[in-house]
Amino acid sequence: MQSLYDISAPAKLNLFLHITGRRPDGYHLMQSAFMLIDWCDTLHFQVRADGQISREDLTWPLPQDDLITRAAKALQLHSQCPLGVHIGIDKSIPAQAGMGGGSSDAASTLLALNRLWNLNFSLQTLAQLGLALGADVPFFLGGHNAWVEGIGEQITTLQFPSARFVVVKPDAGLETKLIFSDSALKRDSKTAIISGFAAYENIFEYGRNDLQAVAQKLCPGVTQALVWLESQGLSGRMTGSGSAVFAQLLHDIDIQGAPRALQVRLCSNLDAHPLVGWATSDGLLMV
């Protein structure tokens, strides 16, 4: 068994995000297409024999009980594994961006420790642990671009054509709970079907993000980022609960001329997660 891994945790973009209703327990029902991109965090894992779970922040400080630490503790508790781990975290994906950075880190942690600790849990078992950490974690565990429904637990694998994107993150972030608790949030989008999405002329322009209007009200930086994309001849939209926005890159643009308040990055989509195949599927995770 190897004692050290350096692994990637990629971000995602929501090509669209529709809110179709709300459950009695308050959780919102959604439909979205999740796409992996090559903007990644890097996590460094080294096994500890003393059973302790320790963390080192290599870029900016993370909360003490972040999703990476919680994922490691949840897997250790579930497995009763006597081993521990030291995790060095090289963050690149911005926080409060709607890009799934925390959930991706948690998923990569579960996959890495499942192998490092020689646990051999299936994807279904890891997904059950992951869903308790965050709604997006099962998607990253699945390892493929996907149509996602429900509260994030209904996942159908999709394939997207290769494409380039420009992703723009304002200085300010957004708290998801503020958007979902806003009375102005649209919660009654018509239910879509995968075949309608797949048949769309350009799937990267399908639908809309129902959270965007509320996000623009709460965070002027979202509007600033969208306006800058428009100035470059691109039609942007927000990913997830923001505050990052993106557009398919259809021609060359001058990212050096972007306002200083905007972090701009050119990205490509991924066919699969870098850790796809690191856990076996029992046929229950993916639809």
If 0-12 CB within 10 Å is exposed, 13-18 middle and 19+ buried, where does residue 251 land? exposed
Secondary structure of 101-163 in the HEC alphabet? HHHHHHHHHHHHHHHHCCCCCCHHHHHHHHHHHCCCHHHHHHCECEEEEECCCEEEECCCCCC
Q: Which domains are present in the chain?
A: 4-157 (3.30.230.10), 164-268 (3.30.70.890)
Whether 218 and 175 have beta carbons less than 8 Å apart is answered as: no
Per-residue pLDDT, 287: 30
Per-residue pLDDT, 145: 98
Mean pLDDT, 10 residues at a time, the chain of 287 residues: 83 98 93 98 97 96 93 98 97 97 98 97 96 94 96 92 98 94 95 96 97 98 98 97 97 94 98 95 48
Per-residue pLDDT, 282: 66
Per-residue pLDDT, 9: 98
Which helix (H) or strand (E) segment is 201 a member of? Answer: none
Structure tokens at 51: 């059973």
Rounded to the nearest 5°, which phi and psi values hold at 149?
-135, 180
Per-residue pLDDT, 286: 37
Beta 146-150 vs 154-157: how paired, if at all? antiparallel
Per-residue pLDDT, 2: 54
Active-site residue numbers?
12, 136
Nearest to 43 by CA among 69, 73, 80, 81: 69
Query: CA 122 to CA 140: how far, in whole Å?
Result: 14
